[in-house]
């Protein structure tokens, strides 16, 4: 896991992220719960816990990876890995937290996760 923050403005305003694994209850198809959220632009954190039309977070409790300000890339040894996108009944959710203490209007940051 390697967060790519190329610009100073990006490094200054991305505070941390959490990558969650989302697994539905037994007998439930993951796509029926999560697929409609795949193209979502995201929501305010405090809105995520309202139930109407929101991401079903109760099934996204397993944290797979975290990054915070000052963190470094994480590389597994060559013989170790973490399977993602296996043909299992699961999805992943990336929870990103931004920091804009100066309340800069229209602030846009860019980042990637390798």
What is the per-residue pLDDT across 14-35, written as a single tens digit (0 to 9) for each? 888 899 999 999 999 999 989 9
pTM of full prediction above 0.75: yes
What is the per-residue pLDDT across 47-99, written as a single tens digit (0 to 9) for each? 555 555 678 888 988 999 899 888 888 888 999 988 776 667 889 988 888 88
How far is the C-alpha of 3 from the C-alpha of 6, rounded, in Å?
A: 9
How far is the C-alpha of 76 from the C-alpha of 50, rounded, in Å?
A: 37
């Amino acid at each position: 896991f390697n967060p790519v923050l190329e610009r100073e403005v990006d490094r200054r305003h991305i505070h941390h992220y959490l990558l969650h694994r989302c697994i539905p209850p037994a007998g439930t198809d993951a796509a029926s719960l999560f697929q409609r959220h795949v193209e979502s632009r995201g929501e305010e954190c405090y809105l995520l816990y309202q139930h109407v039309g929101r991401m079903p977070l109760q099934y996204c409790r397993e944290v797979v990876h975290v990054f915070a300000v000052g963190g470094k890339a994480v590389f597994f040894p060559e013989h170790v890995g973490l399977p993602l996108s296996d043909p299992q009944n699961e999805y992943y959710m990336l929870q990103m937290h931004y920091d804009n203490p100066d309340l800069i209007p229209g602030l846009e940051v860019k980042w990637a996760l390798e």
